[in-house]
Amino acid sequence: MIRPMTPEDLDQVMEIEKRSYTSGWARATYEKSLASPSCRYLVEEEENRICGYAGIYLAPEEAELFTIACDPKYRRKGIASRLMDALLHILKDENIRAFFLEVRSSNEPAKSLYKKYGFTQTGIRKQYYRDPEEDALLMTLEL
């Protein structure tokens, strides 16, 4: 079941964050952005367990994908696709025209997911990521 993320979800979200990213966000970052009217976060929950989450930032006519991650135990089960579908529904309701994201240049599963949804590479940010240092690909989906 996909639903909005709540502060009560953060313990489980932070567990997934640690297992998914070498240098993820701090809990305080999630707490602050959850309170922002410009941010939307979703979780997929199965049997009272958070399996994945995603977050976006909304601006007039544009949105940016902040984060999307799935618990390693639940990967390759369509969770990221269901989260993307739900995010795109939000974007449609908000009359968003362009959806942006950054992705590690080596993250083939994520790039494949984004290409499936029609994102195209629109730029590169050199040495954007740390631990390990790596370029970010900028991708855009026109809606």
Distance CA 143, CA 140 (A): 10
The count of other CB atoms within 10 Å of the CB of residue 121 is 14
List the structure tokens of 98.
Answer: 């362009």
Is 30 designated active site?
Answer: no
Q: Reduced to 3 DSSP states, what percent helix, strand and coil does the chain have, rounded to the nearest 5?
A: 35, 40, 25
**Residue among 102, 117, 128, 129 flagged as catalytic:** 102
Is 53 designated active site?
Answer: no
**Residue among 114, 117, 128, 142 flagged as catalytic:** 114
Residues with a catalytic annotation lie at 102, 114
